[in-house]
Amino acid sequence: MNGAYWPKQKTAILVIHGIGSQYPFSTMDQFARSLINSFEDTGLSDLIVEHCVAKREENDGECWNDNYIRVINKGSECPIDIYEYYWAHHTEEKMKLKDIQRWVIQTVKGAEKFYKQNEDLAIKCNDKSAFFTEKGVLKTNKYRAFLIGVAGVIPVYRGLWLGVAALVSKIPLMGALGEKMIDAMNSKISSSLSNVIGDIAIYNSIDPKSSFYQIRKEILDGAVNAVKYLLELQGSNRPGVKNTNSLSYSRVILAGHSLGSQIAFDAINRLTQMISTGEMTGVDSAGGYISTEGSIARVGAGGKRLENVSDQLCGLVTFGSPLDKIAFFLRQQVTGKQYLRLQIVQNYHSFKQKEWIGLLASDIKYRLESPYKRIFDDIRWYNYHDAGDPISGRLDYYKKVRNIRCSYKKKWRGVTHGNYWTDKKMFREIITDFIIPEDPVEYIPE
């Protein structure tokens, strides 16, 4: 990469963190440092890094400050602004182990009940995960062993610690102290386990009757608002700004780690629906920009003129993503008899999702056309995964995704789920393939 390279358009990157105990600004800090290091590796030595604040206004009129990091090459007028979407406070300590156990058992039962449907879908999508042979045949025993193992994790864990505590309590003199130490360790590990698995369980609570469904809704609503703020025309939702003929950024890129990749995906999917139903200011139902009079328009964005919102929101980077596992085990299941509901659920997922309907076209009496236009299906999406990361994997259930295997050196005590944050190759490709190109970044077939 040429050391003189720097984007010729104002760029925003929204980073969304994943599971576990997270803290505000940590995600933004890690991503920004790795991006800066990658730019410096190209020979750029005059970078300016600033802490910036954007005044944001909610729908109810309440204002708050959004902190972000600005990186700019000295002499350039086109900064790279790095934002984060922080959502951990929504799920922290919300799920207890008994709630997680109940969710796991229900999930396992659902996966068993729809076993054949899962197999058909996976074969149809050419699933290349460890559950299938090279010829695409489901390893039934491995599938069932996995479900049994997952269902037994929580009971075994609880039984193990109760057993250890009981043994320690019988040690003369030291029994009481040892039991307190075991209780403290148990509490700490329980909290960590609850936060990690609880994040996945809460965000994948798709039953509106569930007490956790509202939390999921709040997380997704916040992500949609964060993306929407970066995309909308100036003045449409910004205090004191009257110019409505230009955009804040000509390029917006989303980057999601772990469960954050699912949140990023869902946010783009929800934006697709909002645009299709006329809920986004300044664009028509196909994503084209329109003037205040309703006519087709081209809007200014850092010296460029854009015609469609997909020219602006032009990239998605996922790393450590569980999206295929969620599609295989946790997606909303619908019986074949409910062929209308089946199609509504399919139509609802209108961003790069492959055809998930298991029925043949001849089995469906009435076909329902989707009311949502696939506005963002051609944007570039890179998915980074690693064999040492049990959460990540190839994404075979989605269209137009470039899967990139990282091949990290696995440490003897752990997994590689966090290695992406310092992956020089990944950040170099984010620069060369998403940030630098002058034209809108579109999917390129492998």
Residue 128 belongs to a domain:
yes
**263: Cα within 13 Å, side-chain hemisphere:** 35
Strands (E), 157-277: 251-257
Same domain flag for 19 and 148: no
Residue 283 and residue 191 in one domain: no
Query: How many structural domains are present in the chain?
Result: 2
Same domain, yes or no: 179 and 221? no
pLDDT for the residue 384 = 97
- Is residue 181 situated within a structural domain? yes
Same domain, 61 and 150: no
**267 and 368 part of one domain:** yes
* Distance between first and last Cα of the chain: 21
Please check whether residues 250 and 371 belong to one and the same domain. Answer: yes
Same domain, 401 and 341: yes
pLDDT of res. 1: 44
Apex 252 CA angle, 214 and 258, nearest 5: 50
**312 shares a domain with 355:** yes
Residue type, 35: L
Q: Within this chain, do residues 329 and 236 fall inside the same structural domain, yes or no?
A: yes
Where does a domain end: 174, 203, 232? Answer: 203
Q: Does 208 reside within a domain?
A: no
Residue 393 DSSP SS3? coil
Give 336-343 contacts, CB < 8 A, sequence gap 24+. 336/117, 336/363, 339/363, 339/364, 339/365, 339/366, 340/366, 340/368, 343/367, 343/368
Residue 6 lies inside a defined structural domain of this protein: no
Beta strand ranges found along 239-379 (DSSP E): 251-257, 299-301, 304-306, 313-319
- Which of 154, 170, 203 represents a domain boundary (last residue)? 203
Tell me, yes or no, whether 267 and 195 share the same domain: no
Same domain, 79 and 226: yes
Residue 297 belongs to some domain of the structure? yes
**Ramachandran area for residue 131 (φ above 0: left; ψ -120 to 50: alpha; else beta):** alpha
Range of the domain at 153: 97-203
Taken in order 288, 292, 294, 298, the sign of the CA dihedral is negative
Neighbours of 144 (CB within 10 A): 14
Q: Of 178, 203, 228, which residue sits at a domain end?
A: 203
Residue 209 counted as domain residue: no
Look at residue 444 and tell me if it is in a domain: no
Q: How far apart are CA 341 and CA 334, in angstroms?
A: 7
Distances in Å between the Cα of 36 and the Cα atoms of 4, 237, 424 are 14, 31, 11
Please report whether residue 440 resides in a domain. no
Can you give the pLDDT at residue 121?
A: 76
User: Are residue 32 and residue 125 in the same domain, yes or no?
Assistant: no
What is the CATH number for 68? Answer: 3.40.50
pLDDT at 21: 75
Each of the 446 residues of the chain gets a pLDDT tens digit; together they read 444 589 999 999 999 999 877 899 999 999 999 999 999 998 898 899 999 998 877 666 567 788 999 999 998 989 999 999 999 888 876 777 777 777 777 776 766 666 677 777 777 777 777 777 777 776 767 766 665 555 555 554 444 444 444 444 455 544 455 445 445 544 444 444 555 677 888 888 777 877 788 898 999 999 999 999 999 876 544 443 334 457 889 899 999 999 999 999 999 999 999 999 988 888 899 998 887 666 666 676 666 778 899 999 989 999 999 898 887 776 777 776 788 888 888 888 889 988 876 544 556 778 888 999 999 999 999 999 998 888 888 998 899 999 999 989 876 556 898 999 999 999 999 999 999 998 878 887 76
